[in-house]
Structure formats: structure tokens, C-alpha cells
Amino acid sequence: MTDPIADFLTRIRNGITAQHDVVEIPASKLKREMARILQEQGYIAGYEIEAATAERPGELIRVQLKYTDDRRSAISGLRRASRPGQRYYVGHGSIPKVQGGMGTAIVSTSTGVMTGHEARSAGVGGEVVAFIW
């Protein structure tokens, strides 16, 4: 796999399309932080980290997707911003707003992974990883 973050977003997108309640994703530190941000922003119901076992060597993130009463997802769209072939770095003054401020940009900064709003207020720029709305 050449782009694990795109795989993370695609698994969530496919889970929403198939209306699954839970999606399992191989874990990494960045994916764990992205799941934390998605939960804090209200896009997913929750997530848990499952430890490695003898059958499965790596950790697993189990994401509980969030739906409304009429089974519409809380996530309307996901898009990878920075790709392995073309990285997308911005300064704190030019962090993009998603859907006019209604969405969330996930930014990987020198002080950690945070939303675009948090990075703007902290005065740090970095790599724009994904857009969620």
C-alpha cells in the first residue's frame, strides 16, 4: 500500500456507502489522531484501538460510524489533500477553510495533528492531510 491515509479515508467512505456501523482500519499514529479529530468534531460516534494478536500482528482501529435517525451519515464527503506525489504545505495564514467553515481540514503540524481552526489560532502551519465535510 503506497498511501495509508487515502486507504483510511476510502475505508470510511466505503463503510458509509454500504451503511456499516463499524469499520476496521490498520492503525498508525497519524490515523489514530485523525480518528480522534473525527470524533471530537462529531463526524464519527467513536473509535477504539484493538491490540495486536497472534493472528493479526498489527493494531487495529475500530471506527463506529455516525448516522442520523433516517440513516444519513454525519460525513457528507472526505478528500485527501496532500498526496505522496504532491505534498500540500501551508503557512498558518493560508490554511484553507472547508465548505466556508462548515467542514474541517486536518493539518499535520510540528506540534501535532490538529484541525485547521486549531492550527490557525495556534499560529502554526503544516501539511494539510485531508478535508472532511
Packed helices 4-17 and 29-40: angle between N→C axes, nearest 10 degrees: 40
Q: So what's the pLDDT on residue 73?
A: 96
> From 3.40.50.10320, 3.10.105.10, 3.30.70.20, 3.30.1490.10, which CATH number describes the 78-132 domain?
3.30.1490.10
Q: So what's the pLDDT on residue 114?
A: 97
Q: Residue ranges of the chain with pLDDT lower than 70?
A: none
Quote the strand ranges of the chain, DSSP E.
22-26, 44-50, 60-65, 78-80, 89-90, 104-109, 112-115, 126-132
Report the predicted TM-score, pTM, of the whole model to 2 decimal places. 0.92
Domain 4-65, second-level architecture: 2-Layer Sandwich (3.30)
Q: Which grid cell sits at 122?
A: 495556534
Q: So what's the pLDDT on residue 56?
A: 86
Q: So what's the pLDDT on residue 1?
A: 72
Distance CA 106, CA 117 (A): 9
Q: So what's the pLDDT on residue 133?
A: 96
Q: Where are the domains of the chain?
A: 4-65, 78-132
